[in-house]
A and B are shown apart, each in its own frame.
Chain A
Amino acid sequence: MSTFGGDEVSAIVLDVGSCWTRAGYAGEDSPKTVFPTYYGYIPENRVINKSKLGASDLGGGEGSQQVEKKTEKYVMGDSEISVWREYMEIRNPLKDGLIQDWDALEHIWDYALSKRLSVNPVEHPLLVTEAAWSTREIRETLTELAFEKYNCLAFYTVKNPVLTAFASGRPTAIVLDSGAATTSVVPVFDGYVLKKGMQRSPIAGDFLSDQILRQFEQQKITLNPQYLVANKSFTEPDTPAVFTKRDRSNTTDSFHRFQAMKVIHEYKETVCQVFESTYNEAIIASRPMKSFEFPDGFNTSFGPERYKVPEILFRPPEFTIQPQETGVDVGSYVGIPGMIYNCLATCDVDMRANFLANLVCTGGSTLFPNFIDRVYQELNPSFPGHRVKIHAPVNSVERKCSAWLGGSILASLGTFHQLWISRKEYDDHGKVIVEKKCE
């Protein structure tokens, strides 16, 4: 056991990401539970008369709802939030990777710790991940929450890129993380984030999904998510769908959008692809089309479109559809290779070669086929005479949960246990201790 320096103290690792939340025990190779960070919210005035309907929809009610004293209702969990309920809003407590809605976050912690892991936090040290650009207030509130509400045995918070670097076995690396809400390029040196070199842009998974939605609109494809489809029948490709629609009045916009995004996620995962070298319309046009069937039975094939949207990651201004309406100033963002270049330019010149040989890619949006090849293709000519090496786990679970994995490794190391913030330290110094101890 001493060979790998591990010492299990049954720590809990909690990684609340923009799209998914992962939780599990430190020392394990994958999180025990992964569920969406999105949650359903039914406001106070709507709960009482509609709860029956909601329960019947659930098929006997799995006790997934949490009835607060205020009687507003939070719905957590992958299957639970996918069930249609009247007036249920789908919300996300995070914005740009930062926690905005603390009540919801508490519900997420509750759900993860007591419902999914069934642990008593008093008995366990708790390691929480955070965005590299997390603010002092957020970290302090997290510390407060851990000690005041959950009364954790010990607490620590680490930045995502550091954990990703650890998960790939390197203390020094440049971490490219393209997740749902943000694409970031962060230099990590000896387990410390170099704040000045950090690059981030909102052009990530959610932005692409939004673009795909616009692309469907342009192609005159109406998206009927699964919850609207009662039954469907087979149709020939490119012929209108034949299906019976469910009556779902009083559906909130956010729920509909969430459901539409589910379809788009599937589309992204099965159809979309990154072109392996510089975008070339002629070659792409000659490639075979890929067909996709929508939940309502409509099916069609996609040609160049399936390359166009992921291309936004590399050249945002050129490929964004209706850039004015996205709410993002697309022109001011450079693509991923540019971000890496800018990041390196801010780093000390001594370290650049080292950083270039240790590029780590992670996040769901890096899972497009050919993504890694493309990044390499774009970077290699920019740095002649240097060895560019990109490390990306082949295993998609490792790519999606790299921060959690790093946390799992870190919290099970014997040498790490001196770093935990203990109850006593919190009592002595207050929440400001987090700034001092977790850097």
Chain B
Amino acid sequence: MSNDVRDILGLSGLSAEGSVKKPMRIEKEKKPDGISRELFQLIGGPPPVAFIKPAFKAKPNLRKKAVAWNYRAFKNPARGDDLELRHWVKASEDENQAYRFNEFNKVINILDYTEQEYNNLLNSDPDWTKAETDYLFELCRNYDLRFLVISDRYEWPDKRRTMEDLKERYYFVMREVNTSRAGSGVGSKDNIASMYNFDKAREIERKNNLQYLFTRNPDQIKEEEVLLQEYERIEQNEKKFSKERENLLKMLNFQDINPSKSLLNGGPSTPTADTSGAFFANSAESPPNKKMRRSSSSSVGTSSIEVHSPTDAYPPNTPRREKLPPGVVVRSQKIPPVKQSAINKVTKYLAECHLNTRPNMATETVCAKWAELQKGIVNMLELKRHVEKLENDLDAKKKLLVKAKTTSTTQIKTETLT
């Protein structure tokens, strides 16, 4: 029907139809190489509906022959005797296979000292007899060096040994025997000595401290928690500060390297408290700067700070060619400095007028006026000096004149006299 309408309207129906169909086909064909069809279909458009196949419980395969299991006797190689226990295993398993739990049978090797070694090396402590040392080592072997259990089970007539006593003795024996067996190598001896090092006093102290820690009352714990929180807070602040400082330095460096860009941009860069010493010095000097500082930290392009850029409109009488540090500067710095020779005089004069060396509110106009003022003061001072000089000259001339007059009169007088 649309074709008829098109005919009536004199539109080329066929071409329009073709243009509708074509892009669809193109879209389908467009699949680039290297992308799988599934993935390609996922790109754009709604994802295809995922159909979950209804899963039924798998039918038991009744035709397959059941796996045979045998009730077999087995021996555990970890046992000293030949006890045969029986268990069910798959018939397919090898009958002569080693018992698979055998690998978990870990034995700690604890050294065995000889009679001679004991007499030579270990007899130094009169508190310990050989029999008792033997007993200790037997317990160590039985309980795999679990000193908690060893000290629990330790019962030797007329002796009360703490866990530290036992540990000390054990490590002493290990150290002595192993170092004597290690032979001549000096390094290895030290190594062994450090391996079996046991400081009883320190261990006791540690346990006492732990005991103290264990018996703290809730108030102490609360206090400790508060302190810990405070410490964390301080540390975090410190981190934040150092990070900020680093960022700032980075930014300044960046603008150092690439000043033209920043100059061209003229855009805002974050001013921070630490930008320039001059600003700080300034603000420190004058109390109303509080406001200024706040504004400087909160926004860019405020009155007191701006980024130095050539496109900025300056009051016409501000000289523009002075050297300024790149990046963010305090505007008051842009005020052209007074000649080195005149600085003292200018400051003195400003002080006489109850003014600081820099304007309190360094807005553009103030700065311009300030520059004018400075210039005026310098001019004035110069003129003053000139006037003074001229006056002096005049004085001198006058004096000379007077002198000359007097001499001439005396001459006349003398001439007349003579």
Contact = CB atoms under 8 A, between A and B. Distances in A.
Interface string B193-210: 000000000000001001
Given A195-B153, A417-B85, A351 B148 contact: yes
A110 interface: no
A194 B85 CA distance: 31
Contacts of B80: 425
A424 interface: yes
Contacts of B76: 417-418
Given A190-B146, A348-B163, A349-B214, A418 B105 contact: yes
Interface stretch (B215-223, B265-273, B387-395): B215-223
Contact of B87 (A9, A190, A192, A422): A9
Nearest to B103: A415
A68 interface: no
A154 interface: yes
A327 interface: no
B86 A10 contact: yes
Contact of A195 (B82, B99, B152, B163): B152
Given A189-B148, A194-B152, A424-B83, A2 B100 contact: yes
Nearest to A381: B218
Contacts of A154: 83, 85
A385 B228 CA distance: 14
A384 interface: yes
B79 interface: yes
B105 to A, nearest CB: 6
B211 A422 contact: no
B101 interface: yes
Interface residues of A, number: 36
A325 interface: no
Secondary structure type dominating chain B contacts: mixed
B51 interface: no
B108 to A, nearest CB: 13
B143 A418 contact: no
Contacts of B143: 192
Contact of B152 (A8, A196, A350, A417): A196
Contacts of B78: 418
Contacts of A415: 101, 104-105
A190 B152 CA distance: 13
Given A189-B148, A192-B146, A8 B81 contact: no
A297 interface: no
A334 B99 CA distance: 50
Residue picked from A125, A414, A418, A420, most chain B C-beta under 10 Å: A418
B100 A414 contact: yes
A167 to B, nearest CB: 21
B149 interface: yes
B142 interface: yes
B82 A424 contact: yes
Interface string A343-380: 00000111110000000000000000000000000000
B221 A385 contact: yes
A229 interface: no
Contacts of B153: 195, 439
B56 interface: no
Contacts of A29: none
A420 B218 CA distance: 49
B224 to A, nearest CB: 8
Contacts of B146: 189-190, 192
B86 A9 contact: yes
A7 B152 contact: no
A25 B216 CA distance: 48
B254 to A, nearest CB: 50
A194 to B, nearest CB: 5
A5 interface: yes
Contact of B85 (A9, A190, A195): A9
B101 A5 contact: yes
A153 interface: yes
Contacts of A428: 81
Contact of A189 (B99, B149, B217): B149
A430 B136 CA distance: 25
A7 B79 contact: no
B222 to A, nearest CB: 9
Contacts of A381: 218
A386 B215 CA distance: 11
Nearest to B149: A192
B83 A7 contact: no
Interface string B65-88: 000000000001011111101111
A350 B216 contact: no
Interface of A: 2, 5, 7-10, 125, 153-154, 189-190, 192, 194-197, 348-352, 381, 384-386, 414-415, 417-418, 420, 422-425, 428, 439
Closest 5 CB pairs of A and B: A414-B101, A422-B83, A418-B78, A9-B85, A424-B81
19 contacts: A2-B100, A5-B104, A8-B87, A9-B86, A190-B146, A190-B148, A192-B146, A194-B148, A194-B152, A195-B152, A195-B153, A348-B148, A348-B163, A349-B207, A384-B216, A384-B217, A415-B101, A415-B105, A417-B85
Given A153-B85, A194-B149, A350-B207, 12 more contacts: A9-B86, A194-B148, A195-B152, A349-B207, A352-B214, A384-B216, A414-B100, A414-B101, A415-B104, A423-B83, A424-B81, A425-B81
Interface of B: 76, 78-83, 85-88, 99-101, 104-105, 142-143, 146, 148-149, 151-153, 163, 207, 210-211, 213-214, 216-218, 221
